[in-house]
Amino acid sequence: MSIKVVHYINQFFAGIGGEEKADYKPEARDGVVGPGMALNAAFNGEMEIVGTVICGDSYFNENLEEAKAAILEMVKKYEPEMFIAGPAFNAGRYGAACGAICKHVQEELNIPVVTAMYEENPGVDMFRKDLYIVQTGNSAAAMRKAVPALSKLALKIAKGEDVGTPVEGGYHARGLRKNLFVEKIGAQRAVEMLTAKLGGQEFETEYPMPVFDNVAPGAAVKDMSKAKIALVTSGGIVPKNNPDHIESSSASKYGKYDISNVADLTEATYETAHGGFDPVYCNVDSDRVLPVDVLRDMEKEGRIGSLYEYFYSTTGNGTSVKNSKAFATEFAQDFVNDGVDAVILTST
Amino acid sequence: MVKAIEATGIPVVHICTVVPISLTVGANRIVPAIAIPYPLGNPALEAGEEKKLRRSIVEKALVALETEVDDQTVFEG
């Protein structure tokens, strides 16, 4: 008798549609859908996907509690012994959804769960402490490698076998400590690591230091009626026809656009280059993502001192943390040089 | 981007729909938005009403910037 599994995927992997279908409400289908087929094959008869639950990424994240409750009911009906979500690769909303639903199912149904995503997916940091999250590449092109890794760890977890260390098991470190017996005493291991380090060889630390890179909050603006406010967005707002050819995802650049003579972003003048959400509403009125119209009004009324003459824009989907940081470090110098007092950053 | 800008000492307010992501990423002042495809709008509303809604969110963002914070703060309601 194979172990019964319910699989969770988004609207894209279910073949329902892209961003225009991201508001798709939860739906259960018997058997496998999309990537479930390859997972099922990799289970080799030891486990079987008996049902698949599909939900749009935007719907899930915008209606978190309702979506979790509805999906839990659908999952329950199949009486599964294991729950798998994804892989989500570097899709941020999908990763957040996979993590949230895995955690919910684990807590409510008390069955083992596992998901999979790329290290920079925000879902990893949100849920790594709660879940086993298998490491994958950053796009669906890595599916062929992700499937065996995910199915292998899923089988181990379902059968209650030892999953090993994060490196051995191929999952994102959860920050758990486990007592174990080793042959060599600590002093010996430490000296071996040190000599390896001095010799420029690879070694694996037994206690990785946490990375704290939070930034202290900037001081509050004292007099908003004199403040110069700058606008930045990860929503990909660009002048019509995207003159700088900013990529629709995994952006390698940002745009800097003069709005000193712009009071309103219109359908004729601006659009979004972002490929990670349904662009229809934004293309009709880009103020819905970058509120230039309202800030101009506020400037006139004296609520703010002035709106900075440029806005900065890139597409946030799949764009690496490294690139985003480099972009902002560069253009933040303009803010410093031109005396910008505060920044409003909008994300879709 | 929020952090790289704020590293200069200039305060940043992040207007976004998926607040948990913003918290994870490390924004200090967060204002929740309406929806992913239209964070500062709602196509179901009549244009004037929609602009009022947008203004209310921007106003919240300005209040966030006027407020001293020691830690990550979500400016709700």
- Does A210 contact B at CB distance below 8 Å? no
Domain presence at residue A207 = no
pLDDT tens for chain A, residues 1 to 348: 799 999 999 999 999 999 899 999 999 999 999 999 999 999 999 999 999 999 999 999 999 999 999 999 999 999 999 999 999 999 999 999 999 999 999 999 999 999 999 999 999 999 999 999 999 999 999 999 999 999 999 999 999 999 998 989 999 999 887 788 889 999 999 999 999 999 999 888 887 766 667 899 999 999 999 999 999 999 999 999 999 999 998 899 999 999 999 999 999 999 999 998 999 999 999 999 999 999 999 999 999 999 999 999 999 888 888 889 999 999 999 999 999 999 999 999
Nearest CA in chain B to A275: B37
Whole-number Cα distances in Å, A328 to A281, A347, B58: 26, 14, 21
**Which tens digits make up the pLDDT trace of A50-109?**
999 999 999 999 999 999 999 999 999 999 999 999 999 999 999 999 999 999 999 999
Rounded CA-CA distance A331/A183 in Å is 53
Domain CATH number, residue A135: 3.40.50.2300
Would you say residue A203 lies in a domain? no
Cα–Cα distance, A19 to B37 (Å, whole number) = 9
Residue A199 belongs to some domain of the structure: no
Do A163 and A229 lie in one domain? The reply is no
| Number of domains chain A contains | 2
CA B50 from centroid of its chain's CA atoms:
17
- The pTM of this model reads 0.75
Query: Domain check: are A165 and A248 in the same one?
Result: no
Q: Could you tell me the residue range of the domain that residue A89 belongs to?
A: 3-169
CA distance B12 to A32: 45
Using alpha carbons only, give the angle A321, A322, A325 rounded to the nearest 5 degrees.
Answer: 80
Asked if the C-beta of A217 comes within 8 angstroms of chain B's C-beta atoms, the answer is yes
Evaluate whether residue A143 is within a structural domain. yes
Question: Do B35 and A63 form a contact (C-beta atoms < 8 A)?
Answer: no
A265 and A122 co-located in one domain: no
Q: Is A278 on the interface with B (CB under 8 A)?
A: yes
Residues A66 and A135 in one domain: yes
What's the residue count for chain B?
Answer: 77
Q: pLDDT tens for residues B10-48?
A: 999 999 999 988 988 889 999 999 999 999 999 999 999
Record: contact A294-B69, CB cut-off 8 A: no
